[in-house]
Chains A and B, each alone.
Chain A
Amino acid sequence: MLSVAEQVSLIGALLDNWRVPRTSWFVVDAVALHLLGYPIDPDAWADHVNVYVDQNVLPWRSDELEETIPPPGSQELADWLRMMDRGAALHLVPARRYIERGIDVVMATLPDGNSFQVVSLRGYLRLGVLRAGELMSNVAGEAEAVIRSTAVLRFERASQLPSELFGVPMSDCVVHLREGYRCLAAGDIARGRKHFEAAGDLAGL
C-alpha cells in the first residue's frame, strides 16, 4: 500500500491534469495533520484520503454534498480509476460551502518535493464547527427522535449496571468520578494551551 504522502502526490497529479488550481482544494483530517508533522498514525487513513474541493472548478457538475466522482463513461472517471490502480484512495468532498466561510490552510511539502494545501489545525477545528452545525441543522426535524432513542439506549444500558461497585453504591461512584474530572477545569486547559503555543510546536496554528 502506498504511503499517504505518495497518495496525496498522485491525487495532486490527477487534479493538475484536470487543470484544477492547487488553491481550490486541500487535504483534510488525519492525513493533513500527519503531513504537518503531528504524531498521527497515517495507516489508519491510508484507504481514505479526504480532499475538500471547490466543486465549481471540477470538470463535471454534481449535486452531492459529501462525495463526488466523475460521471460514468467520462475520461475523468477513467483517469480516477487509473489513479486507484496505482494505489490512491480518494474521497473528494464538494466543499465550496465551507471554503466560502473561510478555512485556514497551509502548504505541506511532500518527500517527493511536491507542495499542496492542507488544512491547518485551526482550519481543521473550524471545519469541525461548521460540519457540526450542518449536522445539527440536518437533524433538527428529527431532534426528538434522536433524543428519545439516545435516552432509551442509555436507560437500557443503565439498567444493566450493578447497583454497587466494589461494595460502594453506584451513586457514590458517580460522585467520585465527577470529582475526578474536575481537575480538567477550563483554567488548566487554557494554561496547557499557552504552554504549547510558547513551545511553537503547533504547526499550522
Chain B
Amino acid sequence: MILRVVHLTGVGASPGVVTACAHRVQTLSSACETDLYGALIITAAITPQWLPILAGCAGVVTERGGVTSHAATLCRELQKPCVVAVEDALRLIPDGATVKIDGTAGSVDLLAE
C-alpha cells in the first residue's frame, strides 16, 4: 500500500497563498542550474546567496528555520509566500507536484502529482 501525504504543516513565515509546481532543490549550486522562475522551491534551508533565485520563484517551503530565518525574512521582503519548518518536505513533496501553500496558516497541500 502506498501512503500519499496530501497535507503538511509548518510555520507560516511570509504571508500569501500560491499554487505552483514544486521543485525540490538540495543545494544552491543545483538551484543555479535549474530554471526556477515561477516554481515553488522545496529545500532544506536558505542562505543570503539564494536571493537571485528567490526573486523569480513563486514561493518557498523549507524543512528548517523559523520566522527569523533567511528564507522567512527574504520572502517577506520580496512579498513571496513562505512556509518554514515543514518536516521531511524534501522527501514528501515530489518534483513536479502541484502544491498550494498558505504562508499565513503554515499549510502545504499537494493538489496533484
Contact = CB atoms under 8 A, between A and B. Distances in A.
B77 to A, nearest CB: 5
A81 B73 contact: no
Contacts, number: 43
Interface stretch (A62-70, A174-182, A190-198): A62-70
Interface size class of A (residues with CB under 8 A): 10 to 19
B73 A66 contact: yes
B49 interface: yes
A71 B73 CA distance: 12
Given A64-B73, A67-B70, A72 B55 contact: yes
A122 interface: no
A71 B55 contact: no
- The listed residue with most B CB atoms (<10 A of its CB), out of A67, A80, A85, is A67
Interface string A11-41: 0000000000000000000000000000000
Nearest to A69: B77
B8 to A, nearest CB: 22
B77 A71 contact: yes
B69 to A, nearest CB: 8
A68 B76 CA distance: 9
Interface in B51-84: 51-52, 55, 68, 70, 73-74, 76-79
B68 A66 contact: yes
B30 interface: no
A84 B51 contact: yes
Nearest to B54: A69
Contacts of B70: 67, 91
B47 interface: yes
A146 to B, nearest CB: 13
Interface of A: 47-48, 62, 64-69, 71-72, 77, 80-81, 84-85, 89-91
Interface of B: 47-49, 51-52, 55, 68, 70, 73-74, 76-79
15 contacts: A47-B47, A47-B48, A48-B47, A48-B48, A48-B49, A62-B77, A64-B73, A67-B77, A68-B77, A69-B77, A72-B55, A85-B52, A89-B48, A89-B49, A91-B48
7 closest cross-chain pairs (CB), A and B: A67-B73, A66-B68, A91-B48, A89-B49, A69-B77, A89-B48, A47-B49
